[in-house]
Chain A
């Protein structure tokens, strides 16, 4: 026992609150450090659109956008399935809600206010750079993020409604409730009426008519296509940043403690229900954003299928393979799972069989996923790998 440490503790105050108020740093450096990553992300997003898009060419730029959307989905699901250890299986339901809500906002707002549902963006939202005199940002580039935000918020609200009854209970109920939720969203969307094609029809139908005119089983076609590399990199970056900042905070540690041992977490003062519901709501919010990005992507016709379980399973595969709880792992897995079928024909044909086997084998052989809760940049991940290599050698002697 360390005698000096005991004396120190006894003499100083063990009360955390006084410690917190005691150390107030200057405001300026804090602001800079908080905002710097955001500035970097915005800069990267602009670069992606201006430089990378040209380098990649149409096909790969398109693939990069899909990857970006999947990163947002995988990282957001990591907050629930990875951090809190609860198992949501209806993430695609939130994707669809976000997609349909933001799609309805951009589509009907453009139609009624601007007379056409065509995109009214600038260079950053994917308009050809050659267009004469085009600004970097158009009126649509204000509408689009606002619509994404609305989609995300509606999705988060639904997340609250689904999460509250099912997250109070221990066990696997969340899995079944969320799986059912996704399927219900799919069924409900199928019941919606055809999308209204003209400003006059939309005016006549009113808000309710517009809200239910979502294309039904045929899908919601004709949405303005705003989603560009700029927007995708921006939101993928922000999602990862927020997830990381949560993970390394009091709230994030509370989430991880729930996943490790719910009873012990409660005994340490963690409100487990509130922690789980928060994680679920945040994940739903970002899934909604991802849905909005997906809905406004060129070549996508948002449909009821996008709410279905198959889509949810895709996201689960990314989260599990990446390591339940690792943000960088989930992002990496999103890249690999999206790209692999594009490159390997065999993978494309037997895609789901291969991933299903990967899931089973992963659980038996390396149950924590590739990275576990650790991040790619965590020193102890590499130290661990290195040490394991060394001890293997030692064993050979």
Chain B
């Protein structure tokens, strides 16, 4: 059975049908892509999956558990983590604290333990430092651990966002335009990074991307959205040749 299953997910804003009947089946360790022209509703799909918006219709299930009506923090707890198109780091916090926040759900020792500085709190802080430190090393950010996140260069901020999503300990990772604004060298590194993330942590990845080089190279299957509807779904080669997809991107052929 697939890990993440979305069925008939729809959302309208006023009269605008932003997403209609979105469906997806993402298997374990799958690496899928979600593409479409600007304004097709890709980010809205992410927002619907992660609970930022509530779907008008349809269901979302992760590992057999219903996510549809949960609040975003609960959905994160179920194992769905994401990055944002317009980077949303905790700018004033240090790089490592950004990751520590994302470990929130895995921290059983709360405020009383912290105020009394109980052994549990100390052990938790040590474990957090160790785990987040290790994550930073993996992402090549260890030397910047104590800098404020907003002072990082752009590429590092993108990577930190991915690291932060992974720190939540997800089963599925949603990446919203991870390659946006990157140069070719960075894009190449990003491809390796995403594959390594999937292999090391055993995650399924769904990514929105405009860079066709990245998408076609990385993704096993691709879903194409246009005007809020899924117009094609399949392996990259097949999607590339689909006349509906070509029409959506290039316009209808002249009659």
Enumerate chain A interface residues (CB-CB to B < 8 A).
1-2, 5-6, 8-10, 14-17, 19-25, 27, 30, 33-34, 242, 245-246, 248-254, 256-257, 259-261, 263-272, 278, 325, 368, 372-373, 380
Contacts and interface: CB of A to CB of B under 8 A. Distances in A.
Contacts of A250: 100, 103-104, 107, 109-110, 114, 124, 128
A22 B122 CA distance: 12
Interface in B95-109: 97, 100-109
B141 to A, nearest CB: 10
A269 B138 contact: no
Interface string B130-150: 110011011110100010000
Contacts of A267: 50, 52, 72-73, 76, 81-82, 84, 88
A39 to B, nearest CB: 13
B139 to A, nearest CB: 8
Interface stretch (B27-35, B189-197, B222-230, B238-246): B189-197
Given A2-B140, A9-B200, A27 B89 contact: no
A24 B121 CA distance: 10
Nearest to A254: B104
Given A20-B127, A25-B119, A261-B88, A1 B196 contact: yes
B138 A2 contact: yes
B118 A34 contact: yes
A260 B52 contact: no
Given A6-B138, A14-B201, A270-B101, A251 B73 contact: no
B90 A20 contact: no
Interface string B67-82: 0000111001100011
- The interface size bin for chain B is 35 or more
B111 interface: yes
Question: Which one of A253, A263, A267 has the greatest number of beta carbons of chain B within 10 Å?
Answer: A267
Given A251-B114, A264-B89, A270-B73, A30 B168 contact: no
Nearest to B103: A16
A377 to B, nearest CB: 14
27 contacts: A1-B140, A1-B189, A8-B134, A16-B103, A16-B128, A19-B127, A20-B109, A20-B123, A20-B124, A20-B127, A22-B127, A23-B123, A24-B119, A25-B122, A30-B118, A249-B114, A249-B125, A250-B110, A253-B104, A257-B93, A260-B89, A265-B101, A267-B72, A267-B82, A268-B76, A268-B81, A269-B168
Given A264-B84, A271-B73, 6 more contacts: A9-B134, A250-B107, A254-B101, A261-B89, A267-B72, A268-B167
Contacts of B111: 246, 249, 251, 278
A373 B126 CA distance: 23
Nearest to A257: B101
Given A14-B131, A267-B72, A24 B101 contact: no
B114 A246 contact: yes
